[in-house]
A and B are shown apart, each in its own frame.
Chain A
Amino acid sequence: MIPELGHLALILALLLAIAQAGFPLAGSLTGNRPWMTMARPLAYGQLAFVAIAFAALVQAFLASDFSVLYVAQNSNSLLPDIYKISAVWGGHEGSLLLWALMMAGWGAAVAAFSRNLPLPVVARVIAVMGMVAIGFLLFMLLTSNPFERLFPVPPEGRDLNPLLQDFGLAIHPPMLYMGYVGFSVAFAFALAALIGGKLDAAWARWSRPWTTVAWVFLTIGIALGSWWAYYELGWGGWWFWDPVENASLMPWLVGTALIHSLAVTEKRAAFKSWTVLLAISAFSLSLLGTFLVRSGVLTSVHAFATDPERGLFILLFLCLVIGGSLALYAWRAPEVSEGGRFDLLSRESGLLLNNLLFVAFTVLVLFGTLAPLIYEAFNLGKISVGFPWFNKMFLALAPFLALLLGIGPATRWKHDEPWRLTKTLWIALALSIGMLALASLPAISGGDQWVPIGIALAAWLLFSHLTLVRERLKHKHGSWRQAMLADFSGNGRSFYGMVVAHLGVAMFIVGVTMVSNHEIEKDLRMSPGDSHEMAGYRFEFLGAQKVNGPNYRADQGHFIVYRGQRQIAELFPEKRSYLGGGMPMTEAAIDAGFFRDVYVSLGEAVGGGDWALRLYYKPYVRWIWLGAGLMALGGAIAVSDRRYRTARARRTAPTEAVAAKA
């Protein structure tokens, strides 16, 4: 009964979404106020019904109702409750429902937090979000109904893919989807502005916090995915350039460009039509990613069970949403004035270059991801494009981005003087060159030219941003600490947010550089009692024993890691067989540290109590995710800036809780 209620709720949500897409928009075009005011209640209503549907599916999972096909495919009565919940989005249908829930959630959030916006704008934004929601709800109802029944009812479910039975992966998709779907708000604002013909600085000001919040979620989502791949896939990599990863990276890259471009549009009313195009692109690439992952046009490790019919539906949807918005863009954007002149040396130019580089990265990822398809479509042969290609391509451009990142924020809007800039940054430059020389010493670089380059670029970011902070506080009163605190609680948060995010980039660079060039990987065969010395650590293998988990059996190895005479970690890597069947999974054991991870992954038993296994030493690998975390934190700090808070304070509704949920 409850699954049918869920199904019904989905249908009602679809009807509300249709109304949400229709009435407010029509009202805004004809000046019909009552129709415009319908936008908010409809958005709340849609959220309520999608939430009911989602709750119904969660209930079916918790109750292990295997009469529901999707539950039978993705759950098992032995599954721990936490994974029963995360199994809700473990497959295609349920993850679509999660998309729809978030789509409705963002729509309701816009409705709730837009009280100081003109009504026609709100009506248009919510209407556009309604249109996108229609697409997803229809997709689900027509091709991927999560509530489909199964008869005869199997006594037991097939179990969730063991790979997904992990905390990191349980929260990774929601974060990622929050980001993807969040870009729909910027998209909707852009379209609303195009429809209304009013593209001004105010539009950029309204879009900015939404875009940044979505970007923060996406950053966290991608970082979680990378972290999960690192510890769960058992071979120590953190990024594989798989189509699924690329699909999440593209919206992130364009979203990053968008955040920066919005800053120019808000402050200087420049780049307006370009910013609109980025806003459309960020969300379009999120949708394109969905298509690539679910249509089966590309082979990927993580691909969903695919189906050409679904592919065709999404493609049609893409044509309507993206094609329609780009047509609107082609029609309306030429009327947009490009205000705000600037000189060659100015913050605007720097941000334009930033945008150019981020778009170039996006082009690289898109091209590399689609190249096998292009070759096949034109009968040029069948090729594979993998990490060597992407790494080479990215390394060709990334250093320029890092160089620019040290200069850009120090540049003034509109016009700057080369000598002033030099005077500001020369100390940072000198220190970075010093680091370059230091890191070139063979003892540090290990003979690799990328190590000194990476270290110097990271140092350049660190020192140039410290210079910025110093410059900013130079004329303030009190000690630098007092000044900074005052500045921070004043209107400086977007500045400090930027600094933190950029330092995150520096940290990320160090992590990538060090782990790529200095990691050590060993394949070994060890008998109980054996020891192996690696990178100053001694791994002692005590043996392996059988252990039982809630829904798996495992061989568990026991290792003690020593540094000198001191024991620093006890590691228990496992090789698990899940009772639901499928291949055995390795559960690597990692001793995480700020400066290094040591990582043991159990292979197979090779007889006589011996085990084949892998040991890894991963210097600075945490800095990759900590860097991403700092970027996300920077975004969060920037969003809390007073400019946005004052806008909020005028409203009476309690907002913070919902903001956290959104």
Chain B
Amino acid sequence: MSKSLRFLVPLIIFGALVILLMIGLGKDPTKVPSPLIGKPVPEFSLPALTDPERRVEDEDLQGEISLVNVWASWCVSCRQEHQALMALSKNSDFQIVGINWKDDAQDAREVLRMTGNPYAMNGHDPDNKVGLHWGVYGAPETFVVDRQGIIRYKHIGPITREVWEKTLEPLVAKLKAEG
């Protein structure tokens, strides 16, 4: 390296740092990708929220495309999301399966009664027994599961129109085409 080029090194290093920080600004450090993507859903069996006699199990996710939505009545963003879910529940390409997470069953049923129930079924997980295995760390979270019961995507935070149109809808269409 020639002598005068050597003095450019700090500037080059700084340039690289700036690029890194630029990328960093566009990312949300609080989002953690799930290592479960591409893996089968964890085995689970939860009592159904609306009917404790029935159970919601991993086998219920076989044969149909599912949006597994982790929610709770105490969670503010879940209420924002609720309307979107209601609209989506009319779509017959997939089923919406709820995991009612760290919640009081009474409160949760009340929410469904008042604002409608978009869920095909709802498992009640009051003490995070199943959530732990799904790597849930907050509500709302939504997993996209294909017909073979493989987790294909995880969305953290509420489903908005933008999220649905840009990310989830194309994914569901793709899964549908896969057969």
Within 8 Å of chain B (Cβ to Cβ): is A291? yes
CB–CB A330/B29 < 8 A: no
Within 8 Å of chain B (Cβ to Cβ): is A322? yes
Across the interface, which residues of B come within 8 angstroms of A327, CB to CB? 11
Among B7, B20, B25, contact of A311 (Cβ-Cβ < 8 Å): B25
- A329-B11 Cα distance, complex, nearest whole Å: 9
Within 8 Å of chain B (Cβ to Cβ): is A318? yes
Q: How many residues of A contact B (CB 8 A)?
A: 34
Across the interface, which residues of A come within 8 angstroms of B24, CB to CB? 295, 297-298, 373, 376-377
- A412–chain B nearest beta-carbon distance, Å: 29
Among A326, A372, A382, contact of B11 (Cβ-Cβ < 8 Å): A326
Which residue of chain B has the shortest Cβ distance to A332 in the bound complex? B7
Across the interface, which residues of B come within 8 angstroms of A312, CB to CB? 25
Among B10, B29, B32, contact of A326 (Cβ-Cβ < 8 Å): B10
Across the interface, which residues of B come within 8 angstroms of A382, CB to CB? 32-33
Query: How many residue pairs at the A-B interface have CB separations less than 8 Å?
Result: 71
Within 8 Å of chain B (Cβ to Cβ): is A459? no
CB–CB A297/B18 < 8 A: no
CB–CB A370/B20 < 8 A: yes
Among A277, A280, A291, contact of B21 (Cβ-Cβ < 8 Å): A291
- A372-B14 Cα distance, complex, nearest whole Å: 18
Among A299, A308, A329, contact of B10 (Cβ-Cβ < 8 Å): A329
Within 8 Å of chain A (Cβ to Cβ): is B113? no
8 Å CB interface, B1-33 against A: 3-4, 7-8, 10-11, 14-15, 17-18, 20-25, 27, 29-30, 32-33
- A297-B31 Cα distance, complex, nearest whole Å: 12
Among A288, A297, A323, A333, contact of B29 (Cβ-Cβ < 8 Å): A297
Which residue of chain B has the shortest Cβ distance to A318 in the bound complex? B18
Which residue of chain A has the shortest Cβ distance to B34 in the bound complex? A382
CB–CB A377/B29 < 8 A: no
- B135–chain A nearest beta-carbon distance, Å: 12
Across the interface, which residues of B come within 8 angstroms of A381, CB to CB? 33
CB–CB B32/A299 < 8 A: no
Indicate whether A297 sits within 8 Å of B21 (C-beta atoms), given known contacts A323-B15, A382-B32, A382-B33: yes
Interface flags, A299-340, vs B, CB<8A=1, else 0: 100000000100110010011001100110110011000000
Among B14, B32, B33, contact of A322 (Cβ-Cβ < 8 Å): B14
Across the interface, which residues of A come within 8 angstroms of B8, CB to CB? 330
CB–CB A374/B20 < 8 A: yes
CB–CB A330/B20 < 8 A: no
CB–CB B29/A296 < 8 A: yes
- A662–chain B nearest beta-carbon distance, Å: 29
Interface of A is mostly: helix
CB–CB A297/B11 < 8 A: no
Across the interface, which residues of A come within 8 angstroms of B23, CB to CB? 373, 376-377
8 Å CB interface, A227-247 against B: none
Within 8 Å of chain B (Cβ to Cβ): is A273? yes
- A374-B3 Cα distance, complex, nearest whole Å: 30
Q: Which of B17, B24, B30 lies at the interface centre, i.e. has the most chain A CB atoms within 10 A of its CB?
A: B24
CB–CB B30/A330 < 8 A: no
- A381–chain B nearest beta-carbon distance, Å: 8
- A322-B20 Cα distance, complex, nearest whole Å: 15
Across the interface, which residues of A come within 8 angstroms of B29, CB to CB? 296-299, 372-373, 376
Across the interface, which residues of B come within 8 angstroms of A295, CB to CB? 21, 24-25
- A373-B18 Cα distance, complex, nearest whole Å: 12
Across the interface, which residues of B come within 8 angstroms of A373, CB to CB? 20-21, 23-24, 29
Among B7, B21, B32, contact of A334 (Cβ-Cβ < 8 Å): B7
- A308-B30 Cα distance, complex, nearest whole Å: 14
Across the interface, which residues of A come within 8 angstroms of B20, CB to CB? 370, 373-374, 377
- A299-B23 Cα distance, complex, nearest whole Å: 15
Interface flags, A392-412, vs B, CB<8A=1, else 0: 000000000000000000000
- A327-B10 Cα distance, complex, nearest whole Å: 9
Which residue of chain A has the shortest Cβ distance to B13 in the bound complex? A326
- A296-B25 Cα distance, complex, nearest whole Å: 7
- A298-B23 Cα distance, complex, nearest whole Å: 12
CB–CB B18/A334 < 8 A: no
- A308-B24 Cα distance, complex, nearest whole Å: 10
Interface flags, A371-390, vs B, CB<8A=1, else 0: 01110110001100000000
- A333-B10 Cα distance, complex, nearest whole Å: 12
- B20–chain A nearest beta-carbon distance, Å: 6
Among B4, B10, B15, B27, contact of A277 (Cβ-Cβ < 8 Å): B10
Across the interface, which residues of A come within 8 angstroms of B22, CB to CB? 315
- A298-B25 Cα distance, complex, nearest whole Å: 9
Across the interface, which residues of B come within 8 angstroms of A281, CB to CB? 10
Among A299, A315, A372, A374, contact of B18 (Cβ-Cβ < 8 Å): A315
CB–CB A334/B10 < 8 A: no
- A293–chain B nearest beta-carbon distance, Å: 13
CB–CB A333/B7 < 8 A: yes
Which residue of chain A has the shortest Cβ distance to B24 in the bound complex? A297
- B36–chain A nearest beta-carbon distance, Å: 13
CB–CB B25/A323 < 8 A: no
Q: Which of B11, B17, B20 lies at the interface centre, i.e. has the most chain A CB atoms within 10 A of its CB?
A: B11
CB–CB B4/A334 < 8 A: yes
Which residue of chain A has the shortest Cβ distance to B31 in the bound complex? A382
- A374–chain B nearest beta-carbon distance, Å: 6
CB–CB A330/B25 < 8 A: no
Which residue of chain A has the shortest Cβ distance to B19 in the bound complex? A377
Across the interface, which residues of B come within 8 angstroms of A326, CB to CB? 10-11, 14
- A323-B22 Cα distance, complex, nearest whole Å: 15
Which residue of chain B has the shortest Cβ distance to A336 in the bound complex? B7
Across the interface, which residues of A come within 8 angstroms of B4, CB to CB? 330, 334
Across the interface, which residues of A come within 8 angstroms of B25, CB to CB? 295, 297, 308, 311-312, 315
- A323-B12 Cα distance, complex, nearest whole Å: 9
- B87–chain A nearest beta-carbon distance, Å: 30
Across the interface, which residues of A come within 8 angstroms of B17, CB to CB? 288, 370
Across the interface, which residues of A come within 8 angstroms of B14, CB to CB? 284, 322-323, 326
Across the interface, which residues of B come within 8 angstroms of A284, CB to CB? 14
Which residue of chain A has the shortest Cβ distance to B15 in the bound complex? A323
Among B3, B11, B30, B32, contact of A323 (Cβ-Cβ < 8 Å): B11
- A268-B8 Cα distance, complex, nearest whole Å: 25
CB–CB B3/A319 < 8 A: no
**Extra pairs beyond A297-B21, A318-B18, A330-B7 (8, CB < 8 Å):** A297-B27, A299-B30, A326-B10, A334-B4, A372-B29, A373-B23, A376-B24, A377-B27
| 19 residue pairs from A and B, CB less than 8 Å apart | A280-B10, A284-B14, A295-B21, A297-B21, A297-B25, A312-B25, A315-B22, A318-B18, A323-B14, A326-B11, A329-B11, A330-B7, A330-B10, A333-B7, A334-B7, A370-B17, A372-B29, A373-B21, A376-B24
Closest 6 CB pairs of A and B: A297-B24, A334-B4, A326-B11, A377-B23, A330-B7, A330-B8
